[in-house]
C-alpha cells in the first residue's frame, strides 16, 4: 500500500472555487483502479487549507491517478488558485491495517 497526505492551500479569494474543484475529484478518484481510499478534509483552523488522506494499492496506482483526464481542469488552474505549491507527503505505515 502507498499512503500520502496531500495539502492544498487556496488563495483566500479562490477558496470556494478551489473547494468545489477539489470536491468534484472525490467520486471519480474513488472509482479508479488501485484507490483504497481518498478522503477530502478542510483544516479546522484555516478554511483555505485542504487536505487529502489517500491510500493507493501502490505507487503506480497513484501515478496513474495523477495522469487521469478528470484532473486536468484542476491542474490547469493551480497557479491561479493556490497560495503555495501543493505539498505531497508520503507515509509509511508502522502499525497493522485496521479491519
Query: To 5 degrees, how large is the angle CA 6–CA 11–CA 15?
Result: 75
Give the domains, in start order, of the chain with CATH numbers.
2-91 (3.30.70.100)
Q: What is the DSSP letter of 82?
A: B
At 67 the pLDDT is 95
- Residue ranges of the chain with pLDDT lower than 70? 99
The model carries a pTM of 0.92
At 73 the pLDDT is 87
CA distance 4 to 23: 18
Query: To 5 degrees, how large is the angle CA 89–CA 14–CA 83?
Result: 45
Amino acid at each position: 500500500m502507498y499512503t500520502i497526505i496531500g495539502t492544498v492551500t487556496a488563495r483566500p479569494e479562490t477558496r470556494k472555487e478551489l473547494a468545489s474543484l477539489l470536491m468534484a475529484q472525490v467520486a471519480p478518484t474513488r472509482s479508479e483502479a488501485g484507490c483504497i481510499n481518498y478522503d477530502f478534509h478542510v483544516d479546522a483552523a484555516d478554511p483555505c487549507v485542504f487536505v487529502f488522506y489517500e491510500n493507493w494499492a501502490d505507487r503506480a496506482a497513484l501515478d496513474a491517478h495523477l495522469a487521469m483526464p478528470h484532473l486536468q481542469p484542476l491542474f490547469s488552474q493551480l497557479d491561479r488558485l493556490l497560495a503555495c505549491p501543493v505539498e505531497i507527503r508520503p507515509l509509511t505505515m508502522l502499525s497493522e491495517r485496521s479491519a
